Amino acid sequence: MKNILIIGDGIIGMLAAIVLSNIYKNIYLVKSSKKKHYKSKIDRFFSINLLSQYFFMKNDIWSDIIVSKPQPYNKIITWDDTIEDNLIFESSSISYDSLGYIVKETSIIGSLLNRLVNIKNVISIKDVDIREIRDNTHTMILCNGESIDLDLILKSDKSMDTLLGSDDFKSNVVNYNQHALVVDLFLDKISMQNIAYQKFIEGQIMGLLPISNNQYNLIWSVNNDFLDNLKNNNDTKILSILNSHLSEKIGTIKNISNRIIFPLSGFHVDSYIKNNILVIGGAAHSVHPMAGLGLNMGIQDIFLLENSFLKINTDNYDITQVLQNFNRSCTEENKKTYNTINFLKKFYSDKLIPDFFRAKSLKLFNKNIYLKNKVIESATGIDVLKRRSVGKYCYSN
């Protein structure tokens, strides 16, 4: 394979460039001049599941990430004040040491940049340096007049949609009618480090990721009408609200960081390919953050794409067959995840189902060890690794 254009130089775009550098002669990685450079008031954290960890390890990225000491967690406790029993998911149930790791965004980006430095066939170009991309021939014309024939265009975000006509990708869209408030919580005492929490309240979901022995990162999803009231509250009032909901599990919260707020919406494309344009990551799907799977789904896309190439045991790839295999497997896996998360959001937060019925359903689920373990394997990505991996995969350490 000769030339591929990757649009988007975020985590998914950079990882795709690293992985595909073993397959394509030249990787053209596009940097967006309109990229939003947030001067974030707080650090951003991601929950990295076991498939993502495995894929980082396989591509010599995890050894760099581990230097920043990512926080492992081996248990997730979910609860609802209207339901007596907690739901508890443990890594030991599937014979793993952890369910995942909490990793700082800057650590992932730094590790990817360090890896890219040593890959000579990844060529960085700016979007403003591209004058035209011709649909019929997939030829990229640069502003300096240079013409480059492309075997494939891969979009990892929604930049350059106008130029490529990628708005034509049809999607299933859902409006969650919520915003997410992200804030760090500082406890007055040392707490257990290896437990993540999630609390469900009508119109709200509180997800807690452990980032140190006395600190949690909170992703607080709230209905839009509640957000209007929340915005007017000072830190003292918000502290009071948070302690009333969370102190029973994590202890007293003594302080909170600055907070950032962003709207929530979901979508999933009907097809990942069109006219030799392939979409992955944020260009292909977005889901509610309640399960922490957004970034992991993008990493899984690249894992499935690489597998589609590896299944054809020759250097003379039939790109049509590769893309068809990828589209089929990616649509199947991500559509299932997308629909499941949307159902769970309605089941817990929208309270469309009576409390007594939800309580009975959850009690039955809690007793079904087989089904519970299948849910854990699905959320950690182990299920996909078992079914889809071309090579061997390793257990988490």
- The domain tally of the chain equals 1
d(C-alpha 26, C-alpha 41), whole Å = 38
Look at residue 133 in the predicted model and tell me its pLDDT.
86
Would you call 243 helix, strand, or coil by DSSP? Answer: helix
Is 312 within the bounds of a domain?
yes
Is 189 within the bounds of a domain?
no
What does the pLDDT look like over 301-310, one tens digit per residue?
999 999 999 8
The dihedral region occupied by 203, where left means phi > 0, alpha psi between -120 and 50, and beta the remainder, is left
CATH code for the domain of 69: 3.50.50.60
Is 195 within the bounds of a domain?
no
pLDDT < 50 regions, the chain:
37-38, 395-397
What does the pLDDT look like over 158-183, one tens digit per residue?
888 777 755 568 899 999 999 999 99
Closest among 352, 49, 26, 321 to 209, alpha carbons compared: 49
Is 183 within the bounds of a domain?
no
Burial 304-322 (b: 16+ CB within 10 A, else e): bbbbbbeeeeeeebeeeeb
Is 279 within the bounds of a domain?
yes
Is 368 within the bounds of a domain?
yes
Dihedral through CA 295, CA 299, CA 300, CA 305, nearest 10? 140
- Structural domain boundaries, residue 96: 3-172+265-388
Is 211 within the bounds of a domain?
no
Q: What is the pTM of this model?
A: 0.93
Residues 149 and 25 sit within 8 Å (Cβ to Cβ): no
Look at residue 396 in the predicted model and tell me its pLDDT.
46
Is 207 within the bounds of a domain?
no
Look at residue 397 in the predicted model and tell me its pLDDT.
46
- Mean pLDDT, the chain, rounded, equals 90
Look at residue 38 in the predicted model and tell me its pLDDT.
47
d(C-alpha 296, C-alpha 32), whole Å = 22
d(C-alpha 27, C-alpha 10), whole Å = 15
